[in-house]
């Protein structure tokens, strides 16, 4: 952080920040620290909205916003940064306009991108503090690791339905002691599908307002040194019964990024780490072109459609219908001595069907129609594809 002592305020700024400056524990110096500070807010959604609004209002001098998304109607129930006029626009642009209207004395930098292992260090390195308001486990671990590698404090908050969590990670106190980080609290993520996301499970609109405001408050404390940041502690709030609990958390020797024997020395593939990239064996494929050629050449083959009956009824290319779920039970209907072309809508279900038949029944004559019936109709019967 550049020396805050040189920070000057104009008359309008002094008037704006008066209610901060007159708090005895806060004063002009804390306000100078805010103006000198650079905070990166990752995710400008439910949590990012209150964080950004309050940090901008409070006079944080430089605020970076990372988000790749566009404003959607379903965001407005909780993402109070945005209004109807912002729907369809990039979130970072809409957020920047709103924040500049709120406080013209600060600088807003935007990153209209998905934060990932390639760009995270580069984006985060110029900031003093990070506020993580993202919505998935891979990004949570990515932001954590990047902050640990760069020595940045990560003010963390997370929400689900009626429940929120807050902590301050990787914070070095005045005595030089480093606090725990996300990997000390949660060494591994849940397997995909076990813990639903807000998009699947929903969230009470006001909850990110409550939790994000606490997150903003912690960011301000970390910057100014006023009060005791929530480092080494883990706060949870249940809006349903209005219960709050604060737990003690500690650094762990077996933390892979900064424990006794760190094994992570650079950013990794976080989707892989979170088990989201299931490496699936590839299956034999046939393109529509090749398939049409078989037909021209009079090649013998059997054609199977693994979609659902209603899809088949809407459009089919003369295949036998064996829906994916019933493939194993109908394995005997698949020919063994001629080539079998399996298709679905776009090629995903048919690949699954082929893998299942190969694994369970040892088929080696199954071909996945690349691009499915969509590609076939596009190529062979374009007039049908448009309907």
Q: Which residues are catalytic?
A: 198, 344
Fill in the DSSP letter of residue 109.
E
- For residues 9 and 15, what is the distance between their CA atoms, to the nearest angstrom? 10
Fill in the DSSP letter of residue 85.
G
Closest to another protein by CB, 142 or 340: 142
Give the residues lining the site for another protein (CB under 8 A): 43, 45-48, 69, 75, 79, 132-137, 139-140, 157-163, 165, 185-190, 194-198, 201, 203, 208, 234, 236, 238, 240-241, 245-250, 252
What minimum distance in Å lies between the beta carbon of 40 and another protein?
Answer: 14
What minimum distance in Å lies between the beta carbon of 183 and another protein?
Answer: 11
Nearest of 384, 379, 334 to residue 356 by alpha carbon: 334
Closest to another protein by CB, 136 or 346: 136
Mapped onto helix, strand or coil, the DSSP state of residue 321 is strand
What minimum distance in Å lies between the beta carbon of 354 and another protein?
Answer: 28
Torsion, Cα 191 194 198 199, to 10 degrees, reads 90
Closest to another protein by CB, 203 or 342: 203
What minimum distance in Å lies between the beta carbon of 223 and another protein?
Answer: 21
304: β partners: 320, 342
Q: What are phi and psi of 368, to 5 degrees?
A: -85, 125
Closest to another protein by CB, 167 or 368: 167
- For residues 39 and 18, what is the distance between their CA atoms, to the nearest angstrom? 22
Contact residues for 42 (Cβ-Cβ < 8 A; gap 6+): 48, 66, 67, 115, 130, 131, 132, 133, 134, 139, 143
Closest to another protein by CB, 46 or 371: 46
What minimum distance in Å lies between the beta carbon of 167 and another protein?
Answer: 11
């Amino acid at each position: 952080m550049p020396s805050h002592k040189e920070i000057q305020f104009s008359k309008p700024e002094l008037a704006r920040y008066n209610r901060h400056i007159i708090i005895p524990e806060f004063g002009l110096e804390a306000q100078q620290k805010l103006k000198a500070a650079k905070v990166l807010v990752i995710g400008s959604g439910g949590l990012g909205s209150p964080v950004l609004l309050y940090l901008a209002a409070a006079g944080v001098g430089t605020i970076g916003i990372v988000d790749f998304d566009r404003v959607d109607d379903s965001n407005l129930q909780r993402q109070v940064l945005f209004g109807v006029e912002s729907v369809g626009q990039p979130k970072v642009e809409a957020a920047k306009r709103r924040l500049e209207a709120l406080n013209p004395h600060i600088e807003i930098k935007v990153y209209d991108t998905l934060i990932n292992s390639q760009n995270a260090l580069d984006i985060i390195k110029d900031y003093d503090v990070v506020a993580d308001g993202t919505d998935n486990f891979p990004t949570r671990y990515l932001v954590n690791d990047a902050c640990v590698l760069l020595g940045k404090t990560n003010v963390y908050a997370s929400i689900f339905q009626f429940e929120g969590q807050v902590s301050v990670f990787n914070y070095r106190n005045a005595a030089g002691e480093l606090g725990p980080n996300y990997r000390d609290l949660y060494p591994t993520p849940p397997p995909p599908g076990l813990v639903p996301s807000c998009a699947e499970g929903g969230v009470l609109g006001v909850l990110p307002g409550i939790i994000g405001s606490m997150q903003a408050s912690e960011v301000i404390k970390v910057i100014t040194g006023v009060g005791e940041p929530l480092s080494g502690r883990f706060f949870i709030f249940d809006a349903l019964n209005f219960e709050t609990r604060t737990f003690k958390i500690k650094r762990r020797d077996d933390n892979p990024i900064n424990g006794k024997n760190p094994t992570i020395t650079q950013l990794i593939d976080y989707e892989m780490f979170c088990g989201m990239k299931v490496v699936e064996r590839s299956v034999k494929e046939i393109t529509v072109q090749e398939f049409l050629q078989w037909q021209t050449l009079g090649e013998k083959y059997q054609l199977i459609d693994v979609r659902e009956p209603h899809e088949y009824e809407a459009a089919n290319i003369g295949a036998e219908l064996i829906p994916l779920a019933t493939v194993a039970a109908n394995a005997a209907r698949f020919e063994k001595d001629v080539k079998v072309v399996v298709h679905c809508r776009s090629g995903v279900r048919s690949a699954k069907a082929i893998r299942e038949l190969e694994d369970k029944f040892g088929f080696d004559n199954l071909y996945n129609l690349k691009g499915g019936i969509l590609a076939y109709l596009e190529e062979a019967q374009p007039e049908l594809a448009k309907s």
